[in-house]
């Protein structure tokens, strides 16, 4: 049963639509690693779609912030303004849905889903040095995580950690541990502006990283029209 793994959609309906069209017919179930909302202009529609279609979601920091579970002091100005905008834009039903999202990690079919790291939903795993302290404490062979908006991840070997390049499909070796980031659907930050996602097939033990073009001008125009910070539109074109 192949899984479609999505993360950090961030209210970007155009990117989500393109990713789903690209993945059509290639998966049985959808899993999401959090940050459904924040930054983009379509929180309500993205949450509606998620509620209908995604089998399991773990919450992200923006999901917490946008439903009022967390104050916004630690957010940068653009993130704070977008969280305030989102709080006003969403229905009570959507707010309640976000409030009730479970905290990761969650175990699905022998692998884990987390937003930040398996040990802290707000921790950024960017570099090998970020993973080093967790090396001996990792649970299952495979953990999917998001939060950094960088596609790739890490392979943990007995004598070290390797960064995974998302260019080629990854074959999972059960001797090792893997932290896999599908990248961000709605706000990539790895200098590739295309929407990112991954497909995991347990039967063949493979992870395929995917990138897909989407209508960035349409998503950016919605952000500008909504009165959200301009930088949130501009960064979509750069993938930063």
Q: What does the binding site for Zn ion look like in residue numbers (CB under 5 A)?
A: 8, 35
Residue 47 Cβ, how far from Zn ion at the closest point, in Å? Answer: 15
Residue 92 Cβ, how far from Zn ion at the closest point, in Å? Answer: 24
> Which residue is it, tokens 């993360």?
7
What backbone phi and psi angles, to 5 degrees, belong to 15?
-65, -40
| Angle formed at CA 158 by CA 155 and CA 160, multiple of 5 degrees | 60
Residue 9 Cβ, how far from Zn ion at the closest point, in Å? Answer: 9
Q: How far apart are CA 157 and CA 164, in angstroms?
A: 12
Q: Which of residues 75 and 209 has its CB atom nearest to Zn ion in the complex?
A: 75
The residue nearest Zn ion at its CB is 35
Q: Which of residues 84 and 176 has its CB atom nearest to Zn ion in the complex?
A: 84
Per-residue burial over 192-214, b = 16 or more CB atoms within 10 Å of its CB, e = otherwise: bbbbbbbbbbeeeeebbbbbbeb
Residue 171 Cβ, how far from Zn ion at the closest point, in Å? Answer: 28
Q: Which of residues 105 and 156 has its CB atom nearest to Zn ion in the complex?
A: 105
Q: How far apart are CA 185 and CA 195, in angstroms?
A: 5
């Amino acid at each position: 049963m192949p899984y479609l793994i999505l993360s950090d959609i961030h209210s970007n309906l155009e990117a989500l639509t393109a990713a789903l069209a690209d993945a059509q017919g290639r998966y049985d179930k959808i899993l999401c690693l959090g940050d459904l909302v924040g930054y983009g202009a379509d929180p309500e529609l993205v949450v509606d779609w998620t509620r209908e279609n995604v089998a399991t979601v773990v919450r992200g920091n923006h999901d917490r912030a946008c439903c009022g579970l967390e104050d916004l002091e630690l957010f940068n100005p653009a993130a704070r303004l977008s969280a305030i905008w989102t709080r006003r834009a969403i229905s009570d039903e959507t707010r309640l849905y976000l409030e009730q999202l479970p905290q990761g990690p969650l175990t699905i079919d022998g692998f884990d889903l987390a937003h930040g790291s398996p040990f802290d939903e707000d921790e950024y795993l960017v570099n090998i040095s970020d993973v080093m302290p967790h090396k001996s404490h990792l649970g299952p062979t495979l953990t999917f995580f998001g939060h950094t908006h960088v596609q790739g991840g890490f392979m943990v070997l007995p004598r070290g950690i390797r960064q995974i390049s998302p260019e080629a499909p990854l074959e999972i070796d059960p001797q090792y541990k893997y932290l896999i980031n599908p990248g961000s659907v709605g706000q990539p930050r790895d200098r590739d502006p295309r929407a990112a996602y991954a497909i995991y097939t347990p039967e063949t033990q493979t992870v395929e990283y995917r990138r897909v073009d989407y209508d960035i001008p349409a998503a950016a125009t919605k952000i500008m029209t909504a009165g959200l910070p301009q930088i949130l539109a501009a960064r979509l074109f750069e993938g930063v």
